[in-house]
């Protein structure tokens, strides 16, 4: 939990190479989506509206089946909203800039390492940027930068076979494959699932660095402590509807919303309340909490 912030501080915030990764503003306006192939179609998303400013960090919480993964796929453009619209930097579908903007949205699927396929780490990461039609020089630079960001420096890992990497390294390699396309908006679907605690800390530190670099992040997760450490905004989905959206406040209203949807409060917020402190002022990380308590 603490690694998210302290890791960022240790490693420096911005990626190197002179290529900044600016964020992208995201807005969903009345988004609806129904899976057509289901025998008895149940709307997966209903009138989903929220806004996230450029460089913002959004925790997407909710029970299994509440629509989190569907929402990420619709934002990425893999599924098309049947009602409403996803606006990227204020542009809607049909506007000239939209396709180019959509290409700058990265989505890291659940267990993305299952999709690794090339015979070296470098080739696997190069697949996306090549498909975007970048020059080979640009691809090479993007691959090196992405591997570095993901904690897999090219000199050490570039020629390794993806299957010869550990589970945690494979997860980070799959992330590098998305980062190489220089996403300005990065969507992550349960990125911490099945990782050991050390690998979770490493991944949280990488995400904190991306946040520091200004990339807009949307994190769908069941891990409320890691989400609290990283995300300033909160969106709770309940059966495809928005239960709450906006700045993540740990005050009474935030506690009520989480409890109403069978979500627990972040550990530090719970601790703050039980120590008789104002939970609305609860720190984000164990390190910050320790500073306040020591």
Q: State how far the Cα of 235 lies from the Cα of 219, in Å rounded to an integer.
A: 10
- Tell me which of 147, 236, 263, 282 binds another protein, using CB under 8 A: 263
- Tell me which of 14, 63, 85, 138 binds another protein, using CB under 8 A: 63
Using the minimum distance from each CB to another protein, give the nearer residue, 182 or 284.
284
Using the minimum distance from each CB to another protein, give the nearer residue, 131 or 264.
264
- Is 37 a binding residue for another protein by CB under 8 A? The answer is no
- Is 291 a binding residue for another protein by CB under 8 A? The answer is yes
- Tell me which of 102, 140, 246, 267 binds another protein, using CB under 8 A: 267
Rounded to 5 degrees, what angle do the CA atoms 264, 269, 273 make?
Answer: 110
Q: Say how many residues touch another protein, by CB under 8 A.
A: 37
Q: State how far the Cα of 129 lies from the Cα of 99, in Å rounded to an integer.
A: 16
Task: Tell the smallest beta-carbon distance from residue 275 to another protein (Å).
Answer: 6
Residues whose CB is less than 8 angstroms from the CB of residue 74 and which lie 6 or more positions away in sequence, other chains included: 31, 33, 45, 80, 81, 86
CB of 226 within 8 A of CB of 200? yes
Using the minimum distance from each CB to another protein, give the nearer residue, 5 or 182.
5
* For helices 136-149 and 167-179, angle between their N-to-C axes, nearest 10 degrees: 140
Using the minimum distance from each CB to another protein, give the nearer residue, 137 or 262.
262
Q: Residue 25 to residues 28, 52, 105, 182: CA-CA distances in angstroms?
A: 10, 6, 11, 15
CB of 1 within 8 A of CB of 286? yes
Region 157-216 residues binding another protein, contact defined as CB under 8 A: 166-168, 193-201
CB of 81 within 8 A of CB of 74? yes
Using the minimum distance from each CB to another protein, give the nearer residue, 139 or 203.
203
Using the minimum distance from each CB to another protein, give the nearer residue, 82 or 196.
196
- Name the one range near another protein by CB under 8 A: 14-22, 96-104, 236-244, 282-290: 282-290
Q: Which two tokens stand for residue 264?
A: 């627990």
Query: Which region, left, alpha or beta, applies to residue 208 given φ > 0 means left and ψ of -120 to 50 means alpha?
Result: alpha
What would the x/- binding string for another protein be over residues 110 to 149, using CB under 8 A?
Answer: ----------------------------------------
Beta bridge partners of 52: 26
Q: Which two tokens stand for residue 172?
A: 């980070």
- Is 227 a binding residue for another protein by CB under 8 A? The answer is no
Using the minimum distance from each CB to another protein, give the nearer residue, 200 or 209.
200
3-state helix, strand, coil in the chain (%, to 5): 40, 20, 40
Using the minimum distance from each CB to another protein, give the nearer residue, 172 or 211.
172
Interface with another protein by CB under 8 A: which residues?
1-2, 62-65, 166-168, 193-201, 222, 224-225, 262-264, 267-268, 270-271, 274-275, 286-287, 289-291, 293-294
């Amino acid at each position: 939990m603490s690694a998210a912030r302290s890791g960022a501080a240790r490693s420096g915030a911005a990626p190197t190479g002179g290529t900044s990764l600016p964020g992208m503003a995201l807005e969903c306006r009345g988004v609806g989506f129904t899976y057509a192939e289901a025998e008895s179609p149940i709307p997966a998303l209903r009138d989903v509206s929220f806004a996230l400013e450029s460089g913002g960090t959004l925790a997407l919480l909710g029970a299994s089946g509440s629509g989190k993964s569907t929402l990420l796929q619709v934002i990425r453009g893999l599924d098309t909203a049947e009602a409403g619209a996803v606006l990227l930097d204020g542009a809607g579908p049909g506007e000239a800039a939209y396709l180019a903007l959509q290409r700058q949205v990265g989505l890291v699927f659940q267990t993305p390492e299952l999709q690794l396929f090339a015979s070296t780490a470098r080739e696997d990461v190069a697949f996306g940027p090549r498909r975007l039609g970048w020059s080979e020089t640009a691809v090479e630079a993007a691959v090196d930068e992405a591997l570095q960001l993901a904690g897999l420096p090219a000199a050490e890992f570039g020629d390794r076979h993806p299957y010869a990497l550990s589970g945690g390294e494979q997860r980070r390699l799959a992330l590098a494959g998305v980062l190489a396309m220089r996403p300005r908006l990065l969507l992550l679907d349960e990125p911490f699932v099945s990782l050991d605690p050390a690998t979770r800390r490493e991944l949280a530190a990488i995400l904190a660095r991306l946040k520091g670099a200004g990339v807009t992040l949307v994190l769908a997760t069941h891990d409320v402590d890691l989400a609290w450490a990283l995300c300033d905004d909160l969106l709770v989905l309940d059966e495809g509807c928005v239960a709450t959206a906006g700045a993540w406040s740990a005050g009474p209203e935030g506690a009520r919303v989480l409890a109403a949807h069978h979500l627990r409060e972040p550990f530090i917020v719970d601790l703050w309340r039980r120590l008789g402190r104002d939970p609305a002022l609860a720190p984000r990380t164990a390190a910050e909490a320790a500073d306040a308590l020591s």
